[in-house]
Chain A
Amino acid sequence: MKKNFALALSLVFSLAVVVTANINVNNEPVAVGSTVADFKLPDVMGKEHSLASLKGSKGTVLIFVSTGCPVSNAYNERMEKLAQDFKARGIHVVGINSNVTESSDTIKAHAVENKLSFPILKDKGNKIADRLGAQRTPEVYFLDSANKLVYQGRIDNAQNAAMLQTSDLRNAIEEVLAGKPVSQTQAKAFGCTIKRAS
């Protein structure tokens, strides 16, 4: 009996070690398949939000955005449509602005001007960009309901919407909503460098 108890305890302990190791809490970029630890950032009004408070019941799309990057701006309408299309289906879109060159007031005015209704958080000191390993705008981190990273990279293949061929992010979201594994977990595109605090 004692032996069985010790074995069970040992198994539980081993499992806990494996789960903890898979949650990203240090500064290594988050790899697809690992879990993003909760974080807090202020919105453009200065109000703090946690990832837990903003996440969707089925998943969360974190998008690193910029007010001045022409590539990010080329996606304004597509990002807003994405947020609207999937909100009722349990997927929430959250913008993160890590550019040291763009103030909360600028981000607020830009969101109003471009009719962006999803929350945009200000990542002062690019702490979350560093934690996730984000390098450009726009860049997507799509988390499932358990905050596990299931897709990372571009929104789609074409900055110019007329050249659109592959809606990588939408495909990943549809697969998650259908309970399927994401077939394409990473895709790249050209974008602007995140302007980090020196």
Chain B
Amino acid sequence: MRRTITLTLVLSLSAHIATIAMAQWRASFTQARAAAVSGDSKTKLPTVREVDAAGVKKLLQRGEGTNARPLLLNVWATWCDPCREEFPDLVKIDEDYRARGLDFIALSVDDVAEINKGVPAFLQQMRAHMPAYLLNTPEPTVAINMVDPTWGGEVPATFLFDRTGKLAFKHTGRIKPDELRAAIDKVIDEK
């Protein structure tokens, strides 16, 4: 009889400890997910800066003068399948060419509500380190024409400007990495 009581007590205590441990694990998991969304310091999401059409103009005019470097601009959105599909190739290109003298800007055209959520979360998932911006404008035509007047606004769209700011290469739709790399090699080699 005593043995049965002891066994029952031990089992009950074990179950209790297991329940507490499970609750604690759940709480830590929820906290980690919340941190990933809110940008908590331990799992800090990449910074995405908001720009308007004038901001895009400034980005395109970066580095004017003797220190000018070629600029690769990728316009994308989290809602765009080919944009997400091509991103790993773009991250690799950024890694391969940054030290060789290429500037790279990723410009999201997502809804501004995604600036601290979906956009940085995707960039983090991609391990992307290029400067990231989100275009917030009530009049997209101005920003689109500023990048390239012949562009209709379809995404993904990738533009390569040489060190003088002249458009050297562009591609709409999913990039062909070899083609883009060849174009980058050419503008980097130009002195």
Contacts and interface: CB of A to CB of B under 8 A. Distances in A.
A135 B154 contact: yes
Nearest to A186: B141
Given A70-B79, A188-B144, A194 B139 contact: no
A158 B154 contact: no
A125 to B, nearest CB: 17
A190 B153 contact: yes
Place the interface of chain A in its size category: 20 to 34
A135 B172 contact: yes
B81 interface: yes
Interface in B126-185: 138-141, 144-145, 152-156, 172-173
B81 A188 contact: no
A139 interface: yes
Contact of B81 (A68, A157, A160, A194): A68
A191 B155 CA distance: 6
Contacts of A159: 111
Nearest to A160: B111
Interface string A119-133: 000000000000000
B41 to A, nearest CB: 32
B80 interface: yes
Contact of A191 (B81, B145, B154): B154
Contacts of B153: 136, 154, 188-191
A55 B156 CA distance: 33
Given A158-B138, A165-B138, A194 B154 contact: yes
B82 interface: yes
Given A193-B155, A193-B172, A157 B79 contact: no
Nearest to B154: A136
Interface in B52-111: 75, 77, 79-82, 109, 111
A190 B139 contact: no
Contacts of A194: 154
Interface in A171-198: 187-195
A1 interface: no
A192 B156 CA distance: 8
Contact of B80 (A153, A158, A192): A192
Q: What 9 A-B pairs are tightest by C-beta distance, nearest first? A: A136-B154, A70-B79, A188-B141, A193-B154, A193-B173, A135-B152, A188-B153, A190-B109, A188-B144
